[in-house]
Chain A
Amino acid sequence: MSRAPARNGAAPRRPGDEDDICPVCKSSRYLNPSMRFLVNPECYHKMCESCVDRIFSHGPAPCPVAGCARTLRKARFRRQTFEDLHIEREVDIRRRVAGVFNKREEEFESLRDWNNYLEEVENLTWNLLQGVDVKETEKKLDAYKRQNEQEIKQNAAIESQENANTEAQFAAQREQARLRREAARNEELDERREKEEGRREMVDMMARGDGDADTIARETQKVVLKKSTARRTAAERSRQQAAAKVDNGAAAPLFSIQGLKRVVQPAPEKEYDPFGGYVIKHEYYYLRDHYEHSWLDNARSDAQITAGGYDVREYCARAMMEAFGGLGVFVEDEIREREEMADKGVGTASAAAAGGGGGEGVDGDVL
C-alpha cells in the first residue's frame, strides 16, 4: 500500500485543466495557482478550499450554490478523485451498496444464480444512481442489511482478509523482484571484476616473463572462463533453490497457487483442551455443585478468603476424590498380574523401560 497515498491523492490538477474558476467566489487558478477544489458527498457541488473555510468553519451551513441549499458540514468536504462528478457520486453509492451486498460467488449453487444476483444488485444500484424509486430502494437496502447482518459481517471479514493477503503477496513479490535484480547486478559485477583480475594476472605473468605471451594469454583465458562457468552454474543453482523454496515453502501468502478452490472459512477454533480429549469421569460418585455445610458458608462468601483464589468447590472435589480414591483397585489381582508378567520374562524389558528406563542401564553396569 506504500504507493497508495500517491495514487489516491491523484488529483494534482495542473493549469490548463478545464473550469479553473471557483463557482462560489469566482477566483480563478490564474490568480491563485495553489487553489484546490473540494466537494461534499451531500450534493457534490464543487468549491475552492478557501470558500469552504470561510463558509463552514463555524458549523454546518447551507450550500452556497444557487438552488441547492442543503446543509453541509466542513468535516465531510474532501478532494474529488474523479474528474467526472457523476462518477464520484456513483462510486460513493457503489461503496455503500457493496458494503451491504457482499455475497460471494462460492455461496451460489450455480453460475447462473450468481449472475442473476449480480444483475439484481446492479439494478438496485442503477435505481439509486438514476434516482428511480429511491425511497423504495433504500428501504429494500435497509431491510436486507438488517436481515443479513451476521452474514454481511462474515463476508466483509473474509474480504478484508483476502485483501490483506493480496497486499502482502504484492509486497513479497516486489521484494523478490528487487532481490533478483540485485543478484543479477552483483553477478555482473563479479564477472567484470574477475575479468579485470584475469587481465592483470596475465600482464603480471608476461612482465615476469614466464613462458611466451600466447600461452599465457590462453591459460589465463581458460582460467577465467572456467571461473565464470562455475559461477554461472552456482548462480543457477542458487536461483533454483530459491525457486524451490518458494514452491514448497510454508510462507503461503508469498506466492499464489492458481487453480485451488478458495478456502472455505475456517471453522471457529475449539477451546484449548489441556488433557487432549481425556475426560475425568468419576465412577463411584457424583460431584455436586453445592454441599450443605454450615462451617463452609463463611469460606464461600468471605472476601478475605475468596480473594486469594480459595474455592470451596475445589475443596469438596478433593475431599470426595480422596474418600473414593482406590475403590476400584484390587491389589491381589494386580499382584497376580505382575507375577505372571515376570514369569514370562518378556514383559520385563518393556516394564523396566516403562518404570523409569533405569533397568537397562543397571544391567549394563552389572554385566
Chain B
Amino acid sequence: MKFNIEDLPVLFPYPRIYPEQYAYMCDLKRTLDAGGHCVLEMPSGTGKTVSLLSLIVAYQQYYPEHRKLIYCSRTMSEIEKALAELKALMKYRADQLGEEEEFRGLGLTSRKNLCLHPSVKKEKSGAIVDARCRSLTAGFVKEKKERGEDVDVCVYHDNLDLLEPHNLVPNGVFTFDGILKYGEKHKQCPYFTARRMMPFCNVIIYSYHYLLDPKIAERVSKELSKDCIVVFDEAHNIDNVCIESLSIDLTEDSLRKATRGANNLERKITEMRSSDAEKLQNEYAKLVEGLRDADEAREEDAFMANPALPDDLLQEAVPGNIRRAEHFVAFLKRFVEYLKTRMKVLHVISETPPSFLQHLKDLTFIEKKPLRFCAERLTSLVRTLELTNIEDYQPLQEVATFATLAATYDKGFLLILEPYESDTATVPNPILHFTCLDAAIAIKPVFDRFSSVIITSGTISPLEMYPKMLGFTTVVQESYSMTLARRSFLPMIVTRGSDQSAISSGFQIRNEPGVVRNYGTLLLEFSKLTPDGVVVFFPSYLYMESIISMWQGMGTLDEIWKYKLILVETPDSQETSLALETYRTACCNGRGAILLCVARGKVSEGIDFDHHYGRTVLCIGVPFQYTESRILKARLEFLRETYRIRENDFLSFDAMRHAAQCLGRVLRGKDDYGIMVLADRRFQKKRTQLPKWINQALLDSDTSLSTDMATASAKKFLRTMAQPFSERDQAGVSTWDLRDLERHKEKMEEEKIRELRNGGGKMEGDGVDGRFNVQNGVDGDDFEDEDMDALMRDADAE
C-alpha cells in the first residue's frame, strides 16, 4: 500500500493499515521534521515496529540527507524480529519500485552469538568468547604473525582484510541468521563484518547497551553522525538500563581478584622491562606528550574504554605520578587495598563521592586527578603489555572504572557499603555498591549527540515521567488509543473476594488466610472459565512462594489441578524455559495450563502469550518494588531532590508500568483476544496510571468488582468472542485500506479548513479521530484508606 504523508511517499508492506499506525507515522514524521526528541506510546500488537521502519526508511530514501537509523531494542529475539520486518519491508519496496535500492541493514550482537570460529564459539560464557576472540585478533597478534612468529589467529577475521573495507557484504538486509550463513559461506567473521560495516549501513539494529553503556558506546557507536535517527523500542525500562550501565558492585572476592590482577601486571611489567623495555619507554613518551593515538580508540579490540569522561578531560595528559607503569600499578594496589580496608567496617555506610575521595586522600594520599585517569591509563597499559588473557583483568578493570566514575561525578552517584547480606545475617559478606542514581547521566551523551531520539513502547505511561527522569525535552509526546471493531480485550479491576472482603497484597493483610483464600478462589474461577492458557503475575518470588504453599494447605491447588496444569517460574532461567515449553505444549493440547510468574521476572518482560497461549492474565497484587532496599531509597531521595518526583509517585508509577507490561503480554494483535484482571483493591485508584489504550477499554462497570461479578462479566465476554468474526467487520473501522485512508485524510483537511474559518478557537486536531480527551482528571481523590505508610512498608521482607 502506498500513500503520502504530506509530501513524503510511504510504502507500507501490507494492504491495510491501522488508524493508529497512520497517526503514529504522522507524529514520527513531525518529530523528524522538527528535529527533536519524542515519546510515543503505541498499544502492543498494533504493528509498531513495521510502521516505524516503513516511515523512517521512506524518510531516508526520499530526502537527500539519507539520515541513518539506529534502532535499539532490548533482547536478541526482538532484534531478530525487527531485522526480519526490515527485510520484508525492503523486499516489498523493491517489488513496488521495480529495483533494488542502494541500502544496507545490519544487526549487531555479541560475539557469542555471531562467532564462527569452531572452538571459540563453543565457549559458554560471553566474556570468555570475547576474551578468546581478542587474543586471536588483537593488533599485536597480527604483527607477530607478520614477523613470522607462530601465533594462533582466526581465519574468519583475517579474511576480512582481503575485502574492500566498505564493501564486506553486498547490499540488502541481513538477519543474524542471514549473516551467519553468509559468513560461513564466504569464510568471513560475521561479528567483525557487522562492526566494520556500521558506518556504511543505512539501518543498524542492536541492543541498548551499545549506545547506553559508556564502556561499549565509546567503541562501537563513536562514529555515528549527529543526524542519525535513534530509536529506543520497548523503552519503558530505559531508566533502569541507564542506571545499571553505570553502577558497579564490588565484593571482597572481586577485590582479591583485582589484587591478583595487579600483581600479574607488576610481573608482566618486570618481564617486559628486561626483554622489551623499548615498548614501555614508547608508551611513557607518548603519555608525557599527552598524545593519544588518533586511531587508538578506533581499534576494535580495545580492552575497555573511558566511562563517560567529559571531552576536555580526554584532551589532557595523564598525570605525572601514574605515567610510569610501575607507579601506576602501585597506585592501583594502594587503591584496592584501601577499598579492602573499607570493606571491613561492620555497619552500613552511605556516602557521596566527594566525601569518599576526601577520606581516601586522608588515608592513602591518592588524589582525585590520577584517579580520574585510572580507566584510561589501565587500557593503555594493557595494550602496551600485549596481554592476551584479558578476562583475568576484568575485576581490576571494574575497580578502575569505579575509580574513574567516582572521581568524575560529584552528584548523581552514591557509595553504599552493606556489610551483611540481610538484616538477620551474622557472618559479614560485604558489598560495596557504587550506584548511579541519575538515569540522565548515561543517556545524556545520546541526547546531546543525536538530533532525533525516539522513545517508544507499548506501555510508557505516564509519558511526562520519562522526559523528567531522563532530562530531555520532547517535540512530540503522544499516546495512541486502540481502534477496535469489537471489544477484543476485557480489562477488569477486582477489589473484593467472593466473601465481599477487600483483597490486596498490601503488607498488613497479604498473609491473612481470608485474603489468600479469596485470591485462590479467583484463580480457581478463572481457571474454570478460561479456555487454554492463564498467566498469573505475583509481585515477588517470596510472595508467590508463600501464597502457593498456603494454597497447597487449603487444598486450592488440588481444585485448580482438575482444570489446568500448573507451572511456576523460578529465578533459574533454564528451569523457567523448561516450564514455559511445557506450558506451551499444554496450551496446544488439552485443557491448557496456568503459569505462575513474577511481575519483574523474565517472563513479564520478554515472553509473548499470544492467542491461546494466554487468554487470561491475572495480576495478583500491585507489583511494588522492595522499598527497604537502600539503593532504591537513595534513588527515591535523589528523584525527590533533583527532579521533584515524590517518592510515592515514583513507586506507584513504577508498579503500574510493570503491571501494564504484564497485562500487555496477552494481547499481541488485533485479532487476538484476552481478559486482563487486576486483582487488588489499590488498583482502583491507580487506573489513571495505566496506558491510555488499556484505561479506555476499562469500563466503569468493570471496576470495583467482586470475584463473582468478575466471573460473570468474563463469561459474557468470552461468549461474544466465540461469535464468528470476519475480516470484513474490521474494515474501515479498525483497519483501513487505501480508500479509507484517503477518506480520512480528506476529512482531516476539511476539519482543518473549518477550524481555520472558525478562527482556530478549538485545539488543532492533527491526528486521528480515535483520540479522546483524557478522562476524569481528579486523581488526588484518595478518600479511602489509601495508606501511604502501608505503601512504603509494602515490602517483601526479603
Residues of chain A at the chain B interface (Cβ within 8 Å): 3-4, 6-8, 10-14, 81-84, 87, 90-91, 94-95, 98, 111-112, 114-123, 126, 129, 163, 166-167, 170, 173, 177, 180-181, 184, 188, 192, 195, 198-199, 202, 217, 221, 224-225, 228, 236
Please judge, given known A-B contacts A118-B321, A192-B788, whether A94 and B783 are in contact too, CB under 8 Å: no
Distance in angstroms from A179 CB to nearest chain B CB is 11
B363 touches A83 (CB 8 A): no
Docked CA distance A192–B648 (Å): 13
Cβ of A236: which chain B residues have Cβ within 8 Å of it?
Answer: 644
Q: Closest chain B residue to A116 by CB distance? A: B320
B337 touches A170 (CB 8 A): no
Interface string of B621-652 (1 = CB under 8 A from A): 00000000000000001001100101110000
The verdict on B742 contacting chain A, using a C-beta distance below 8 Å, is: no
8 nearest A-B pairs in the assembled complex, by CB-CB distance: A118-B320, A115-B320, A119-B320, A122-B321, A118-B321, A87-B337, A94-B365, A82-B337
Docked CA distance A129–B788 (Å): 59
Cβ of A7: which chain B residues have Cβ within 8 Å of it?
Answer: 342, 345, 349, 359
Give the interface segment out of B189-197, B326-334, B662-670, B718-726.
B326-334
Distance in angstroms from B477 CB to nearest chain A CB is 23
A10 touches B341 (CB 8 A): yes
Q: Closest chain A residue to B335 by CB distance? A: A87
A225 touches B788 (CB 8 A): no
Please judge, given known A-B contacts A87-B333, A91-B365, A94-B365, whether A118 and B341 are in contact too, CB under 8 Å: no
Cβ of B344: which chain A residues have Cβ within 8 Å of it?
Answer: 10-13, 83
Q: Closest chain A residue to B322 by CB distance? A: A122
Cβ of B780: which chain A residues have Cβ within 8 Å of it?
Answer: 224-225, 228
The verdict on B45 contacting chain A, using a C-beta distance below 8 Å, is: no
Distance in angstroms from B252 CB to nearest chain A CB is 11
B364 touches A91 (CB 8 A): yes
Identify which of residues 309-339 in chain B touch chain A, using a CB-to-CB cut-off of 8 Å.
Answer: 316-321, 323-324, 326-327, 330, 333-334, 337-338
Q: How many A-B residue pairs have CB under 8 A?
A: 114
Residues of chain B at the chain A interface (Cβ within 8 Å): 288, 290, 316-321, 323-324, 326-327, 330, 333-334, 337-338, 340-342, 344-347, 349, 352, 354-355, 358-359, 363-365, 428, 637, 640-641, 644, 646-648, 778, 780-783, 788
Cβ of B338: which chain A residues have Cβ within 8 Å of it?
Answer: 82
Q: Closest chain A residue to B428 by CB distance? A: A14
Docked CA distance A83–B339 (Å): 11
A181 touches B788 (CB 8 A): no
Docked CA distance A275–B349 (Å): 56
Docked CA distance A119–B359 (Å): 23
B323 touches A195 (CB 8 A): no
Cβ of B782: which chain A residues have Cβ within 8 Å of it?
Answer: 195
Docked CA distance A111–B321 (Å): 13
Interface pairs (21), CB distance under 8 Å: A7-B342, A10-B345, A11-B344, A81-B363, A83-B340, A87-B337, A112-B288, A112-B317, A115-B288, A119-B323, A166-B354, A170-B352, A170-B358, A181-B637, A184-B647, A188-B648, A188-B788, A195-B782, A221-B781, A221-B783, A236-B644
Distance in angstroms from B522 CB to nearest chain A CB is 29
Which of B347, B637, B641 contacts A6 (CB under 8 A)? B347
Cβ of B354: which chain A residues have Cβ within 8 Å of it?
Answer: 166, 170
A221 touches B320 (CB 8 A): no
A118 touches B365 (CB 8 A): no
B342 touches A10 (CB 8 A): yes
Docked CA distance A46–B492 (Å): 70
Docked CA distance A7–B345 (Å): 7
Cβ of A120: which chain B residues have Cβ within 8 Å of it?
Answer: 320
Cβ of A118: which chain B residues have Cβ within 8 Å of it?
Answer: 319-321
Docked CA distance A188–B352 (Å): 26
Cβ of B365: which chain A residues have Cβ within 8 Å of it?
Answer: 91, 94-95, 98
Docked CA distance A3–B359 (Å): 10
Distance in angstroms from A256 CB to nearest chain B CB is 8
Add 7 more A-B contacts to A90-B334, A184-B640, A195-B782 (CB < 8 A). A8-B363, A12-B344, A81-B363, A84-B333, A90-B330, A163-B358, A166-B358
B327 touches A83 (CB 8 A): no
A84 touches B337 (CB 8 A): yes
Cβ of A112: which chain B residues have Cβ within 8 Å of it?
Answer: 288, 290, 317
Cβ of B288: which chain A residues have Cβ within 8 Å of it?
Answer: 112, 115
Please judge, given known A-B contacts A83-B337, A118-B321, A119-B321, whether A170 and B355 are in contact too, CB under 8 Å: yes
Cβ of A12: which chain B residues have Cβ within 8 Å of it?
Answer: 344, 346
Docked CA distance A198–B365 (Å): 60
Docked CA distance A90–B331 (Å): 11
Which of A82, A98, A163, A173 contacts B341 (CB under 8 A)? A82
Distance in angstroms from A165 CB to nearest chain B CB is 11
Q: Closest chain B residue to A225 by CB distance? A: B780
Q: Indicate the member of B288, B338, B345, B346 with the most A CB atoms within 10 Å.
A: B345
Distance in angstroms from A118 CB to nearest chain B CB is 3
Cβ of A117: which chain B residues have Cβ within 8 Å of it?
Answer: 320
A11 touches B321 (CB 8 A): no
Cβ of A195: which chain B residues have Cβ within 8 Å of it?
Answer: 782-783
Cβ of A81: which chain B residues have Cβ within 8 Å of it?
Answer: 341, 363
Distance in angstroms from B681 CB to nearest chain A CB is 17
Docked CA distance A248–B174 (Å): 59
A126 touches B320 (CB 8 A): no
Cβ of B646: which chain A residues have Cβ within 8 Å of it?
Answer: 184
A11 touches B341 (CB 8 A): yes
B364 touches A199 (CB 8 A): no
Distance in angstroms from B347 CB to nearest chain A CB is 7
Cβ of A6: which chain B residues have Cβ within 8 Å of it?
Answer: 345, 347
Docked CA distance A13–B783 (Å): 54
Distance in angstroms from A23 CB to nearest chain B CB is 21
